[in-house]
Each structure stands twice: as structure tokens, then as C-alpha cells.
Amino acid sequence: MDRRRVVVTGIGVVSPIGCNLQTFWTNLVAGRSGIDRIQGFDPTEYSAQIAAEVRDFPIDDFIPKKDQRRMDRFCHFGIAAAKMAMDDAAFDRDKEDPTRMGTIVGSGIGGLSTLETQHSTLVEKGPGRCSPFMIPQMIVNMASGLIAIEHNLQGPNFCVVSACASAAHSIGEGLRIIQRGECDVIVAGGAEASITGLGIAGFAAMKALSTRNEDPQTASRPFDKERDGFVMGEGAAVLVLEEYEHAKARGAQIYCEIAGFGQTCDAYHMTAPMDAGTGATRAMVAALRDAGRAAESVNYINAHGTSTPLNDKIETRAIKGALGEHARKVAISSTKSMTGHLLGAAAGVESVACAMAIRDGVVPPTINQLVADPECDLDYVPNTARELPVSVALNNSLGFGGHNACLCMTRV
């Protein structure tokens, strides 16, 4: 039986550089950074005092005030992104079967701010003062559940938690469900809101974060020799995945096709990638094989590109391992240089970047490419966006725990 094709027909974004698709994409192509000194709490005592926060988020446009207080911030972001994506997809809901529509919205950490504030309440005021909404606010699957409730999506509903690969796995699983014929539509992506005292303290203790506090907008510098760690971001991105014939029949707009998905595990270390990058290489090879595309067909890679000393040089090796000599002909960018690292939502935002690159024929830059690193010697689209017809794009996501995921996205 022929495998069902899956396309993207709706997109919603809440990010540090824009809380709608057009603003996000305009700022991404312009190379604008969303990184600044943390405003959500006083970071003075922290070694890392910068992050890519979502500011000017019009929450009242998406969630009634009485409901806002019952949800964690990561759910706010996820619900808003999903509403924008569903509006963008423009379904006639009277003609859709809700049992054929599902939701997979992942997160790496979930309700961290709720955990932090409720623990303080427990310690300072006792157990009787803890909120009855604490558990549903905190659990990682709640964004997916609330999105399904709002849009009456009665098909499969679950949450993938695979650290920084969560949204990639969510989109990949959505792809598989539609391909198997279990659903016609899956709302998929990721949401994260971990810029809290506890979140920053934990990553700072690992020495994973940039401490370039005096110059926030140049702190995230993937593939640059002077990179010193990642910058945490927050937000959400949701894509409406739809079976191709179903989308065509209703005259839907189509951004791109999700043509292939590869997933592997390093089985090596809790936080460090394999030195040769072979796990990530295998994920890219698997995604291309799944899509039926040759390595030489790839025009663009949205790299995981965290701006950490280890990731960037090892991901460079992994790309060379997957594409061979063709690696030197491919445009590669890390949009984390502008958005920061959205952890479990990162692959959602970066899938949006790939979809828009395919649609518009322009690839976003890697900003802050200032000092060449001999171990990072590929074309990272330095500092300025590039007009480039993109027919095949790869989106790499690599997570703590050795998780590797790669999405292959193509022009229809």
C-alpha cells in the first residue's frame, strides 16, 4: 500500500523574536536577536544573567483571565501557538471528524515555574496553602491536553519528553500516525518556559550557559570559535500536519511536506554527544532514507547548533558523516543564535524556519559568526540571510540523554 503523504497546512509561533508567524520570520531573516538581560527575576547572583525571554505576549488574545491563573506559562505559550496554527490551517470544523484529528505537543521540562513557586509556598506557608491546580499546571502533558480540549481533537493525544529533541519527536510521531492512516490531522510541536531561577541555576551549575552577560545579543554564537555556552530561550511552535489528499480536497494552503523522519540514540553519556557524532549522522541518514532522498539533494540544514563548545564541532562532524563531500555545498544555519535555545520547543520553532525557507526561498543566517573555528568549517550562512531555492531541508535536534532526531522537509 502506498504510504500516505503528510504536509504542513498551519503554523503558530510564540518566540523571543515575535509572537506570530510573520513577525517571527521577518526578524529571523533580518538577523535580529531576542536575547537580553533577564527581566523575569533578578539575575544578579547568577553566573548567567541573560536569556531569550518572550516579551509583549498578548495572552488575553488567547486565554481568558480566569483560566490563565490555572495554567503554567508553558501552557500559555502552547495554547496560543496552537490557536494560531489552527486559524492558519482554516478548517471548516463542521466538515471535519474530530476523531481523526490528534495532538502531540511536547516539552522538555514542563511546568517548572509552578514547581518553583509551589515549593516556596509549601516551605513558607505549609501544605494547606498549596494550589489545587499545582499538579495539572506542572505535568508536562498538559499543554497537549488543553489544546485538544479547546479544539475538540479527539484522536491520539500524548506528550513526548526527550529533552531538546521533544518537538522533533512530536512532529515525527505525528507524521507516523498520519502515514499509518490512524488520523488525517495532527497538531504537533513543543512548548517551554524554563527561564526561572531554578532553571537558570541548574543549567549554570552544569557550565552549559553562556556568561557573556555584558553583551547579550552576541552571546549565542553557534559555530564561532569563541562560543562559551547556550542561551536559554522560551516559547512554543505548533504545526498542523495533514494528510496530503485531505489537504488538497479542502483547498488548503501547503507550506511544505514532512517527507522523512530519523531517530537514534547515542547510548553514550547523559549530556555529552559522541565524539564522532555518529548518532546524529545515523539520524540524518535515516531521515533521508525515509524520505527517499539522496544526500546530494539537501539544500539547507537547520542545525541543532547550540553554541556550546562540544555540540557545534561534533554536529559539524555528524553533518560531514551524513552528507560526505556534499556537506560543503549545503547552507547551514543555527537560528538559536537569535532565539536562544528553546529546549523542548526548539525543534518546533526550527521546523517553522525550515518550512518558511522552503516557501520563500530564503534561509536565515547564523548571526555572531565573528571568529572562524577550524573544527567548524562548513557554510553556516554567516550573519546575513541568503536567497536560496530550498527543495530539501533537514532539521537536526539533539537532546540530553543521547536523543537524536532529524526531520526531512521538502517542497511539495
Known catalytic residues are 164, 304, 341
Backbone φ and ψ of 58, nearest 5°:
-80, 65
Cα 308-311-314 angle, rounded to 5 deg: 140
**Using the 8-state DSSP alphabet, how is residue 384 labeled?**
S
Rounded to an integer, what is the distance from CA 382 to the centroid of its chain?
A: 21
How far is the C-alpha of 231 from the C-alpha of 200, rounded, in Å? Answer: 10
- Decide: 219 and 138 in contact? Cβ < 8 Å: no
How far is the C-alpha of 280 from the C-alpha of 396, rounded, in Å? Answer: 8
Q: Quote the cell numbers at residue 317.
A: 562532524
Backbone φ and ψ of 76, nearest 5°:
-55, -50
How far is the C-alpha of 36 from the C-alpha of 43, rounded, in Å? Answer: 12
How far is the C-alpha of 262 from the C-alpha of 283, rounded, in Å? Answer: 5
Q: Quote the cell numbers at residue 155.
A: 484522536
